[in-house]
Amino acid sequence: MNDLKIKGIYKHFKGDYYLVEDTAISSDDGKTIYVIYRKLYGDGSLFIRELNDFLDDVDKEKYPNVKQKKKFAYQEIKSVRKNFSN
């Protein structure tokens, strides 16, 4: 699914972070795939967006100064814990 990581954390090009909860298929056409994602700030609201739009590049004509390539960039978050036995 174009490398979308379910339960992955993504940074929106405007700066906020989101957790991808899952995907869903449109009941209208049975083809359109939506990303279900939760904001990781405020009230933690859920949103949906078409998969292609979620994975699309930032419009550089509209936002020429944005450094991030994708609208939502996957964040590789590693544990800071060295030992899990305690």
**Nearest to 72, CA basis, from 2, 9, 6:** 9
pLDDT, tens only, 19-74: 999 999 999 999 999 999 999 999 999 999 999 999 999 999 999 999 999 999 99
Q: What is the pLDDT of residue 78?
A: 86
Q: What is the pLDDT of residue 2?
A: 62
Domain 9-74 CATH class label: mainly beta
Q: How confident is the model at residue 82 (pLDDT cuts 50, 70, 90)?
A: confident
pTM score above 0.75: yes
